[in-house]
Amino acid sequence: MSKYFALEHFCEPLMGDASYFSKPMFVGLTIYYLNLMRFVLVESEGDREYRGQNFDFDLWNGVLLCTSREHHPSLISQWTTLIPHPVLGKWLYLKMTDLQFESVFQELVECVINNDLRIGIVPGQRKHRKTKIKKNSDKVRKTKRKRKNKK
């Protein structure tokens, strides 16, 4: 049985579109709209520590706004209650305990309806890090080639 997420009712304006769907993702419920991952709703109180650092708010109790870092400044200037998430820093976080939570989340949903390109990512796409080549990797490759040639 799936967990019920009370925050999903804020997404009702999106639900009339055939592209809307939601699915569980780690500790939350991911909201998709017009083929983009838009929000992750998280409703878990009490976890306030990450990598030895304590926070004065719950890390998994609110809304993760799926976006890219390039959009952080404009989104944060428009909604000062948004912060980079301490664990998933590529996304912004709206804490459920924030006094403006409901109005800000409703405005964000409205922006999604209006297809604000700052909100949403293509699901499954990750930026690949450049792998560091070890100094000895060329030697290893040459050794493997020599062994193949001897056979």
Task: Scan for tokens 């719950």, then name that residue.
Answer: 58
* Count of alpha carbons within 13 angstroms of residue 9, beta-carbon side: 3
The pLDDT profile of the chain, 151 residues, written as one tens digit per residue, is 467 788 999 999 999 999 999 999 878 999 999 999 999 999 988 899 999 999 999 999 999 999 999 999 999 999 999 999 999 999 999 999 999 999 999 999 999 999 999 999 998 866 555 555 445 545 445 545 555 555 5
Rounded Cα distance between 90 and 69, Å, is 6
pTM: 0.79
